[in-house]
Structure 1
Amino acid sequence: MDKIIEKKTGWRTAFTKKALPWWLGALLAVFVVYLIARPNNKTLRVDRDTITVSDAVKGEFNDYIRISGRVQPMTTIQLSPQEGGIVEQILIEEGSPVKAGDPILVLSNDNLDMQILNAEADLAEKENIQRNTQISMEQQRLDVRQNVLEYSIQVERLRRAYEQQKALYEDKLVAKEEYLKAEEDYRLAQQKYDLIRERARQDSLYRSAQVNRMEESLESMLLNMQMIRRRKSNLVVKAPIDGELGLLDVVLGQSIASGTRIGQINSVGTYKVEAQIDEHYIDRVTEGLEATFERQNETYSTVIRKVYPEVREGK
């Protein structure tokens, strides 16, 4: 059978579904009143000792930024061997003072040693060949000179015979054939003598040119030998300037190629400060700007000399 539902009366009617919009409207009205009534000002408490009061004046506005930097040597020289090899000795450790020319480490290079031996053997062979050739050419020169002397004497002898036959022929004491034969012998000997003298002159020029070529070739080999020996001296890596051995990244037995960076020499006495500037200030930082830095409770003045335009990681 049906059940009779009792109708709510009194304060119970405030919690019915029909009363829900009234509740929401009332809450919204309270929130609006709170926003209007709350104070708009904020209060910040500060220590009066941190406040500086000054008169406003018209002048130059200086904009400062505070950054961290590192003191670096003004000059840093890269240390690289001119000749590759195996590290045999380390003579100076990192942080030690050095003078220009001080040996730092010693390398060994078996291939270079073999080149030196081969170059010395080739040089000795070339010198021996040149010496034997010069002896042979000197002997040839003496032989040619002897021929010239012999033909000069023979020409003089035939000249006298020709003049004698000529005088006898003019006196009708000898036949014309004997006179002509003496004249022909003299003329032929004179022509041979001229040819021998020309040959001697040509041989002298040839020998002189050959000696010059051999001397130039030998000099070239000597220069090559000196160059190879200088390469040998480059196996001793030396300090290029006075300063401090700031870095030496080698160990005994390590194989190092020519030109490899193995360390650096730092100059002493003059220094610079390197700092990274945030890219936000790049347009305001230029060469010639004055700067100050503090070190060991002392303030120093400096000037910006170089600004690198590259931006890496925002700096």
Structure 2
Amino acid sequence: MDRIIEKKKWTTKRIATIAGITGLVALIGASYFLTSGKSKVNVDTERITVSEIKQGPFQEFIPLNGIVLPETTIYLDAQEGGRVEEKYVEDGAVMKKGDPIMRLSNTDLELNLVNQETSVFNLLTQMQISRNAAQQNTITKLNQMADVENAYKEAERLYNLNKNLYEKKAIGAQEFKQSQIAFDYQVKRRKLTRQILQQDSVSTKQELEQTKQSYNRTQNALAVMRQKVGDLVVRAPVDGQLTSLDAEIGQNKNKGERLGQIDVLSGYKIRADIDEHYITRVFNGLMADFDLDDKTYKLKIKKVFTQVNNGRFQVDMEFTGEVPKKIRRGQTLQVRLALGDETRALLLPKGGFYQQTGGNWIFKLSSDGKTAFKVDMQLGRQNPDYYEVLQGLKPGDKVVTSSYENYGDMQELVLK
């Protein structure tokens, strides 16, 4: 009798098939999870910088390296060319106005001065001779005038006498007529002599005036020449400190060549170079400050040099309050130049994250602080310490501000 053999449901082949299918499904699921989920990386919290977003005062400013310079500098140029014969002081000496600095020699100038002095002496001698001749001529004419006056009076006396005698029939007409003719002649002679004397006086006066003017012009030329020779001794134009003296004994200096400068010690200014990117935002009156010996000092831009050299332009700043006593010419100061007024803003501390993100996103910590995930944001103004946050973050948020160089395209940081 045949016996029915019962078929086994879980055969080895079937179990192996189910196990294979299950493994394949698990593999597909794991692959999907790993490729479609967020990429993560474990990060040691001791190797990152976490900063908190805060609301606070914000002012846009740029850091500058300022050089301390004298408030006023007077340049020394050679008024006349020559050879350096003597140096009375050295670079760095404190000078009083008029103190000699150096002496130049110029034989051409000195010879011209001698010739000019000789010309003045010759002209003065000629003037004296002309004046003596004019005086002698005037004396001669005055003597002639005296003779004429005497002859006139004698002719007048004789005429009046003969006229009276003629009227009384004491003398004849012929004798009276002779006295009358003689008197008329003396009248005309007297008149002519007076005119000649008057013209001589005017002529002599004009000649003396012309000679005097010529003498004055020559004297002025001599004074100018003496001044040019005197300029061979270079003197301090103001009180101050002599700096940048460029002259050595025996060296030839041309007219107009720079010899040095005098720094007026009445005050200081700060000169700084600024990137040309800011040239449209920098103008007179902008405020700046710097710290020295735990104290802050205020500055204000008083002059902007608009000429750009090597991508930078310069500004001069003056002190608006107390001036530090310890600063010296040539000292470098770290200056903060404010480009706007102080306002309230959402502040994000600066960090290395900006190099990889360009300020477009940042890793923000979760509420439990165990992870950090990407969030988009928008930044505005900046200063050396903070960025101004316009969108994407709020006060109290904590973000990773250290460098993201090792995170690649990770979407999430797991903080350990």
Over 3 Å counting, the alpha-carbon distance change for 1:285 and 1:161 in structure 2 is closer
Q: Please point out which of 208, 221, 225 is paired with 1:224.
A: 221
Report the alpha carbon displacement of residue 215 of structure 1 after superposing the two structures with TM: 1.4
Cα distance in 2 between the residues matched to 1:46 and 1:207 = 111
Partner residue in 2 for 1:106: 103
Determine whether 1:153 maps to 2:150: yes
Amino acid at match of 2:175: E
Q: CA offsets per residue over residues 82-132 of structure 1, 9 Å max, x none?
A: 222111111111122112211111111111111111111111111111111
Over 3 Å counting, the alpha-carbon distance change for 1:253 and 1:174 in structure 2 is same
Partner residue in 2 for 1:97: 94
Over 3 Å counting, the alpha-carbon distance change for 1:96 and 1:164 in structure 2 is closer
Report the alpha carbon displacement of residue 65 of structure 1 after superposing the two structures with TM: 2.5
Over 3 Å counting, the alpha-carbon distance change for 1:54 and 1:190 in structure 2 is same
Of 217-226 and 303-312, more deviation after overlay is shown by 303-312
Q: Please point out which of 169, 174, 177 is paired with 1:177.
A: 174
Cα distance in 1 between the residues matched to 2:44 and 2:276 = 34
Q: Report the secondary structure of 2:109's partner residue.
A: helix
More strand by share: 2
In the alignment, structure 1 segments of 5+ residues that lack a partner are 1-31
Cα distance in 2 between the residues matched to 1:127 and 1:310 = 57
**Number of paired residues?**
282
Partner residue in 1 for 2:165: 168
TM-score under structure 2 length normalisation? 0.62
Partner residue in 2 for 1:25: none
Cα distance in 1 between the residues matched to 2:61 and 2:179 = 119
Partner residue in 1 for 2:305: 308
Aligned Cα RMSD in Å?
Answer: 2.7
Over 3 Å counting, the alpha-carbon distance change for 1:180 and 1:298 in structure 2 is same
Partner residue in 1 for 2:206: 209
In the alignment, structure 2 segments of 5+ residues that lack a partner are 1-30, 313-416
Cα distance in 1 between the residues matched to 2:42 and 2:129 = 110
Cα distance in 2 between the residues matched to 1:37 and 1:171 = 167
Report the alpha carbon displacement of residue 41 of structure 1 after superposing the two structures with TM: 4.5
Cα distance in 2 between the residues matched to 1:92 and 1:234 = 17
Report the alpha carbon displacement of residue 54 of structure 1 after superposing the two structures with TM: 5.6
Q: Report the secondary structure of 2:302's partner residue.
A: coil
- Identity, in percent, stands at 30
Over 3 Å counting, the alpha-carbon distance change for 1:45 and 1:299 in structure 2 is farther
Partner residue in 2 for 1:235: 232
Amino acid at match of 2:227: R
Cα distance in 2 between the residues matched to 1:237 and 1:168 = 91
Q: Please point out which of 97, 110, 115 is paired with 2:112.
A: 115
Amino acid at match of 1:53: E
Report the alpha carbon displacement of residue 56 of structure 1 after superposing the two structures with TM: 2.9
Determine whether 1:56 maps to 2:58: no
Q: CA offsets per residue over residues 205-227 of structure 1, 9 Å max, x none?
A: 11112111111211221122122
TM-score under structure 1 length normalisation? 0.80
Amino acid at match of 1:106: R
